[in-house]
Structure 1
């Protein structure tokens, strides 16, 4: 993969830099959602009006993924990532100093757009700099860093609100983002393989082509459908888990929101397990198929036990979202590596991640409407059907994907 092989110590340092970047991206992206109720109360606006910033940011982030994926295969990823961190820092500072909800909405939409500058070039520079094994380990670390960022946001925001007000929950992450931008820009330049640009090996120039033909040649279309389902289950369940708990067990909003803190722990366990299985199977789609099967079993248990006990319900939903994070690791983090030799790793990564957020956007509205009209039992049955569809889609693509990566490996 890389032009220059790094020592284990160098790989660890570089992987830590990547984890720090992604931790910071979560601290500067999730803080609005965590503080939204306080923002609405402080500015004396409705929750729905305050929520428009979240919706706009979500859409902008999804649109930005393929755009910056294309750009990320052409511009130096080190510079793109540093620019994205600086931009999101300035936008967080702008929110901290703004008292108009309409202006905040516009600012936060741009924040979502500039956040999309981070993931595609990060995948590209990781493939350029790390060996395949080190890349796989770093991908698990990046997911763990995202989980740590989620926990960090939900600890920082309440503390800031109590001590100083909601504006501090944007000022502190902004300062962190500026600091990390400097650390990243200075630290990443020490690793020489990125100087090779898009030509990671001699095959890249010969095999380079447009992304769409590669998508068809590799059989990615059914996998993209599975990615949409994965995004829908992952973010839909995470968003509405507190409502599920309150509706079924009447434990109140505070406990229900606090219960979501178990999700990052299950995420770390799941991605570690997925990475272990992948080292054995050496096929990302086959590994994803197994995790879809585990999700199907979990959803089936949830149908039977969802209202039996709060702890059981929380544990099963955490397992289900954990399976989705394992699938996300396979299909969003590891799968695009195979397109590095075509010079399209950032492009493919951005496209696939955009479809994740397409599923996420649909589920946030869909789960609310379905659970409100038909109840949670029918909603969970639909989750079970989605998991079954995921199994079928990935199982259907397993052999074709194996042939594609084998052929690509022979060409390299």
Structure 2
């Protein structure tokens, strides 16, 4: 489906908006447990230490599922895989309120994590074989915005439901929304010629699926992908890890209510939306190498981390610390990484299309990001409890600086790897 200035472009963008709607709805049934966690704990009486394993199970199976479903997505029609993931996630949300204890919740929510992982790899494949040029960047931006806006929506509608109904209603509501979305997506995708769906494997040199067999990925491509995966791990550690701990940081340093923590989380998600749009525009205007762009983002993140370290320095008295300055810098430190994440998870698989196995590559890259997020969650907790926030912020700055180095090295290999295909296909 080639984009032009006429009707075909509008039809093509409809696929992007539909995929964004699918991602939006899936996030509602992925984030609902974490948002409603306090209400669930209060209602069930389960200890925090036990119930914390439930979202951890989703995190774990989602990361593994990205790789597994990425491989499956290269042999199964992507719109079928996405529909199955939505319906399985809805089923898990229907079942969870009936679980008698934490072990059962862990099993159900672990299955939900795998179901959620059935969405991104095939969705990425559809986008890559539907769009080209700057329109691909626009489509990727639209889908990323869908995920960020879903986070905002979750922190708005779930407290509203909890104010008038039980915590179980949160999951029933999410399940109903996802079922409706799955039906709508299945009807739409089966009545339209969705790119990437005609054959299990696609030709490497065209935008249209064919019966040609994909070439094996050469060793230089594998080595370059290894550097990229390390970069993605760092992005996950800084984006999701800092996002997780931002409300805690501000509450411990400056005090405040749970309501303010929720507000801060919403603001973080909105900043993420803004950064997705801004970085897409900046990338199009000034960059052609995704890894050079990521190195620039890591440099900006390093600056924010150093400013945050100064603002929260030991020499600064508690009453002299500026909450607005700390809030802005820690929020931006996390938010700018959305740009690097978009470049690595969306643009890199597009450039590697000529090697085939698009769904697998997309799944592996996305899985690395969640590995980084998981590592950050536990590592940062340990550092914070043992050495305090200043050391924690120093670690964030060091990770960002390491990202600059890794991106610089990876950019050299990436330039050589993508040179044969030219630069005609801009993101």
Per the shorter chain, which TM-score range? over 0.9
1:277 Cα shift? 2.3
1:342 Cα shift? 2.3
Moved more, 92-101 or 192-201: 192-201
Partner Cα distance (2:217, 2:94) in 1: 37
- Aligned counterpart, 1:110: 111
| Kept in 1: contact 2:203–2:211 (CA 8 A) | no
Q: Does 1:224 align with 2:229?
A: yes
Cα distance change of structure 1 residues 133 and 95 upon mapping to structure 2, 3 Å threshold: same
1:130 Cα shift? 2.1
| Kept in 2: contact 1:205–1:342 (CA 8 A) | no
| Kept in 2: contact 1:3–1:196 (CA 8 A) | no
Aligned with 2:297 (options 287, 291, 306): 291
| Kept in 2: contact 1:207–1:341 (CA 8 A) | no
Moved more, 186-195 or 293-302: 186-195
1:112 Cα shift? 0.4
What is the 5 A alignment of 1:7-406? Answer: 7-189=8-190, 190-197=192-199, 198-200=201-203, 208-210=214-216, 213=219, 215-216=221-222, 219-280=224-285, 281-306=287-312, 308-406=321-419
1:131 Cα shift? 2.6
Q: Secondary structure at 1:78's aligned position in 2?
A: helix
Partner Cα distance (2:149, 2:247) in 1: 20
| Kept in 2: contact 1:227–1:356 (CA 8 A) | yes
| Kept in 2: contact 1:34–1:153 (CA 8 A) | yes
1:246 Cα shift? 1.2
| Kept in 1: contact 2:74–2:360 (CA 8 A) | yes
More helix by share: 1
1:26 Cα shift? 0.6
| Kept in 1: contact 2:221–2:417 (CA 8 A) | no
Cα distance change of structure 1 residues 245 and 410 upon mapping to structure 2, 3 Å threshold: closer
Q: Secondary structure at 1:30's aligned position in 2?
A: helix
Partner Cα distance (1:403, 1:381) in 2: 34
Moved over 6 A (4+): 3-6, 203-207
The normalised TM-score by structure 1 is 0.94
Question: Any gaps of 5 or more consecutive residues in structure 1?
Answer: none
Moved more, 157-166 or 304-313: 304-313
| Kept in 2: contact 1:300–1:384 (CA 8 A) | yes
1:211 Cα shift? 5.4
1:101 Cα shift? 2.6
Partner Cα distance (1:176, 1:202) in 2: 39
| Kept in 2: contact 1:11–1:134 (CA 8 A) | no
| Kept in 1: contact 2:152–2:270 (CA 8 A) | no
1:410 Cα shift? 9.0
1:48 Cα shift? 1.5
1:161 Cα shift? 1.2
Deviations 1:12-69 (A, max 9, x none): 2111101001101110100000111111121111011111111111100011111101
Cα distance change of structure 1 residues 211 and 62 upon mapping to structure 2, 3 Å threshold: farther
Deviations 1:297-343 (A, max 9, x none): 11111111137211211111111111111110001121111222222
Deviations 1:342-401 (A, max 9, x none): 221111111111111111111111111111111111110110010000011101121321
Partner Cα distance (2:116, 2:141) in 1: 20
Moved more, 162-171 or 3-12: 3-12
Moved more, 340-349 or 84-93: 340-349
1:114 Cα shift? 1.0
1:411 Cα shift? 12
Question: Any gaps of 5 or more consecutive residues in structure 2?
Answer: 313-317
| Kept in 2: contact 1:69–1:350 (CA 8 A) | yes
Q: Cα RMSD (Å) of the superposition?
A: 2.1
Partner Cα distance (1:206, 1:214) in 2: 23
Cα distance change of structure 1 residues 207 and 402 upon mapping to structure 2, 3 Å threshold: farther
1:215 Cα shift? 4.0
Deviations 1:187-219 (A, max 9, x none): 1231353444332455787772455846425x1
How many residue pairs align between the two structures?
410
The normalised TM-score by structure 2 is 0.91
Partner Cα distance (1:65, 1:201) in 2: 22
Cα distance change of structure 1 residues 4 and 376 upon mapping to structure 2, 3 Å threshold: closer
